[in-house]
Amino acid sequence: MTAAGNRQLERYDLLERIAVGGMAEVFLAKAYGAHGFEKTVAIKRILPDLARTGEFEERFIDEAKLAVGLSHANIVQVLDFGRDDDTLFLVLEYVDGIDLAALLARYRSRGQTVPLPAAFHIAIELARGLDYAHQRGVVHRDVSPSNILLSRAGDVKIADFGIAVPDARGLRQPSQRRRIMGKWRYMSPEQTRGEEVGTRSDLFAAGAVLFELFTGDKLFPGDEPEQIMANIHDMDIPSASSRRP
């Protein structure tokens, strides 16, 4: 984690950087109000080197517009959206805990698997959050362990709608090849080909996540994108019970 120098972003104090990705960085922050009110939040902003790039700014605005309309217990809530100098930022609900990728890595390092009651709880809550988004015509496109947050209180929340799109079934424009974005190991076959994706693509990704959650094994092995893609297209899918009785 990197200290943020306690600098301010409008009415928010940035405390420390807690995550960084290809497009944005996330800070732990405090929001202040009247009569001593304060609230811990997470602030996501475009990386400084990308802040002046029109494509990334447009994607960030699209994320804000999609995510602000999603209000559900299993989706990280967007609280505010703004601009500071040349940088756009999102204010998000802070989830005090870890992501599913970290939890799986922790159990894997011990040679253990996630206990079944906990795995079922995570699976059910993930399905509820995805169903809510899908019912509102939003396709996440990046359902993966690192985007599933687990709070210390037992909450399960889907995060990062940065590459989400409206369901292709609701679009009237002709189908066109899209830039491939997301994590290869959890992509549907159509997403690896850069085709339009719908809610079924998210369900395919969720299936890969749940296989790993219950068995501790990644569903599609491989170290390089080409090898992973070949497995996604051609591999016989093993049963989870063959890996964990």
Domains of the chain and any CATH numbers: 2-93 (3.30.200.20), 97-243 (1.10.510.10)
Q: Which residue has the tokens 């009110």?
A: 37
Strand partners, 9: 12
User: Do 216 and 244 touch, CB atoms closer than 8 A?
Assistant: yes
Of the candidates 118, 132, 195, the residue with the CA atom closest to the CA atom of residue 161: 132
pLDDT in tens, 12-45: 899 999 988 777 889 999 988 777 788 999 998 8
Q: For residues 113 and 188, give the distance between their C-alpha atoms in angstroms, rounded to a whole number.
A: 25
Q: For residues 140 and 131, give the distance between their C-alpha atoms in angstroms, rounded to a whole number.
A: 11
What residues are labeled active site?
A: 142
* Count of beta carbons in the 10 Å neighbourhood of residue 40: 12
Q: For residues 200 and 203, give the distance between their C-alpha atoms in angstroms, rounded to a whole number.
A: 5
In the chain, % helix, strand, coil (3-state, to 5) comes to: 40, 25, 35
Helix, strand or coil, per DSSP, at residue 95: coil
pLDDT in tens, 125-172: 999 999 999 999 899 989 999 999 999 999 999 998 755 555 544 433
Helix, strand or coil, per DSSP, at residue 89: strand
pLDDT in tens, 187-237: 999 999 988 889 999 999 999 999 999 999 999 999 898 999 999 999 999
Cβ-Cβ contacts under 8 Å for 120 (sequence gap 6 or more): none
92 burial via Cβ count (<10 Å: 0-12, 13-18, 19+): buried
